[in-house]
Amino acid sequence: MTTALRRLRNYIDGEFRDAADGRTTEVVNPATGEPYATAPLSGSTDVDAAMAAAEAAFPAWRDLIPAERQKVLLKIADRFEERAEELIAAESENCGKPIALVRSEEIPPMVDQIRFFAGAARMLEGRSAGEYMDGFTSIIRREPVGVCAQVAPWNYPMMMAVWKFAPALAAGNTVVIKPSDTTPASTVLIADIIGSVLDELGHPRGVFNVICGDRETGRLMVEHKVPAMASITGSVRAGMQVAESASKDLKRVHLELGGKAPVVVFEDTDIAKAVEDIATAGYFNAGQDCTAATRVLVQESIHDEFVAALAKAASETKTGAIDDEDVLYGPLNNANQLKQVKGFIERLPAHAKIEAGGEQVGDKGYFFAPTVVSGLKQDDEIVQHEVFGPVITVQSFVDEKQAVEWANGVEYALASSVWTKDHARAMRMSKVLDFGCVWINTHIPLVAEMPHGGFKKSGYGKDLSAYGFDDYTRIKHVMTSLNG
């Protein structure tokens, strides 16, 4: 007996629709490896319809006073809380994430972030008006950019959707967002929530649209003539493709791409506390986080003690079913990602040593054991490239100079952390580490008020904070004569 698959649909101009040509893809629960739904495989007709809806809705949404847009976002945040259990269920099935962790670690910050941007809607700051030429007054206007084409990733489908639509809507833009083809369920539910709020408050339905599909669908969105801005959270390869496609008509591009965060542990660190926090920050969400604490550099005098403690912590970390409250993380998101993580382990050089884990867990789904690999060199593949799995690598450094050289010696530059009791050293390191975020004696906390974004191949533009809000605006100079 087969179970009928749930049917997910696009959300365009306030209506749920199948793809125009009827094409679909199967959506797989990564905890079981079995399909549970189908989603539209959208093509050019669907993208055209979504962009037309967003374009038509833009003037009215743009012209709302900020207080009215704030009301909409605050009601969306309230509705997220009211329908939290639906969102949790959708995201757990989407990603195989433990239910308890989605409830405690994702819903509260998402609601907070929406409310933050609701406030930011009323903070359209610019330099004061003034006379910079005799007889003329200059004024700065800050305006929305227009329709935004947004592509969200599969590691945090709900939260990354919030990071994209909340600042865009707050600034007065309209949105067409595409979730990953492996995780569309929670974004479709978000469309239902936002659509109901827009209807209740009498705003155009096309303000927020969701298109399901694959990489080709995303390309069609980015290359479409309507959007003024393209925003993606994803791999470096995907970001480069988006930047290239957007360059054809000089669209604005906002890229949050990969990471390879160095975790620099000096010999004066409280080893037990550092290991506890680093293990959590490295294995949370199965290491599928561009800021994950998965590249550890440890001063040689404490290396062996640290590695032993970290291996023990890994052996005590649990992965498993979504309803097990003792589980720290669930499965990898999809079969391809499991294959990628396995490949890194299989290709380890002879000088590397697996201290813990290193293998798939269970006979169904895409679970992988908490893993620690030591004995690595700076140019090893697993040190230089993003694994995006529950694998923590450890290198041994001699002094501060070498720590900085190795920490900065990758193509990514998103996040980093320094572990030391020496305040002066912490300040020196925070200055020279070439990363968009430097945590000191912690790793991975984020707040709505502070920016998240990197340098180099980690992309450009900021999420969260007033800086993230600014990215969705444009600056206009208005000059008027004082002589009639």
φ, ψ of residue 219 in degrees (nearest 5) = -60, -45
Tell whether 183 and 94 lie within a shared domain.
yes
- Average pLDDT rounded to a whole number, residues 149-178: 98
Q: Which domain holds residue 408?
A: 262-447
Whether 110 is covered by a domain: the verdict is yes
Q: What is the CATH number of the domain that holds 342?
A: 3.40.309.10
54 and 186 belong to one structural domain = yes
The DSSP output letter for 265 is E
Q: Which helix (H) or strand (E) holds 9?
A: none
Is the confidence at residue 243, as pLDDT, over 80? yes
Digit-coded pLDDT (tens) for 272-316: 999 999 999 999 999 999 999 999 999 999 999 999 999 999 999
Asked whether residue 229 falls in the same domain as residue 341, the answer is: no
Is position 290 annotated as part of the catalytic site?
yes
Same domain, 286 and 418: yes
Both 154 and 300 in one domain: the answer is no
What is the spatial distance between Cα 27 and Cα 19, in angstroms, rounded to a whole number?
15
Give a yes or no: residue 452 inside a domain.
Answer: no
Spatial contact of 436 and 455, defined as CB atoms under 8 Å apart: yes
Residue 125 pLDDT > 80:
no
Residues 237 and 316 in one domain: no
Q: What's the total number of domains in the chain?
A: 2
Q: Residue 103: its pLDDT value, please?
A: 97
How do residues 446-476 score in pLDDT, each as one tens digit? Answer: 999 999 999 999 999 999 999 999 999 999 9
pLDDT band of 2, cuts 50, 70, 90: low
| 201 and 297 assigned to the same domain | no
Catalytic residue among 95, 148, 212, 290: 290
In a domain, 483, yes or no: no
One DSSP character per residue, 84-120 reads: HHHHHHHHHHHH---HHHHHHHTHHHHHHHHHHHHHH
- Which of 117-131, 173-187, 401-415 is predicted least confidently? 117-131
Q: What strand order describes the sheet that includes 371-374?
A: 353-356, 371-374, 391-397, 295-299, 262-265, 415-419, 437-440
Instruction: Look at residue 153 and tell me if it is in a domain.
Output: yes
Position 417 pLDDT exceeds 60: yes
Assess if residue 216 is contained within a domain.
yes
Q: Mark whether 128 and 11 lie in a shared domain.
A: yes
- 23 in the same domain as 141: yes
Mean pLDDT of the chain: 96
Q: Are residues 146 and 268 in the same domain?
A: no
The percent of residues above 70 in pLDDT, for the chain, comes to 99
Domain contains 209: yes
Do 163 and 282 lie in one domain? The reply is no
Q: Are residues 28 and 157 in the same domain?
A: yes
Summarize pLDDT for 17-48 with one digit per residue, the tens. Answer: 999 999 999 999 999 999 999 999 999 999 99
Residue 128 pLDDT class (50, 70, 90 cuts): confident
pLDDT 10s digits, 193-230: 999 999 999 999 999 999 999 999 999 999 999 999 99
3-class SS of residue 59: helix
453 part of a folded domain: no
- Determine the longest span between alpha carbons in the chain, in angstroms: 83
| Across 234-257, average pLDDT | 94
CATH code, domain with 62: 3.40.605.10
- Is residue 482 one of the residues assigned to a domain? no
Check if 212 is active-site: no
Its pTM stands at 0.96
**String of b and e for 26-42 (b: at least 16 CB within 10 Å)?**
ebbbbbebeeebbbbbb
Question: Over 50: is that where the pLDDT of 320 sits?
Answer: yes
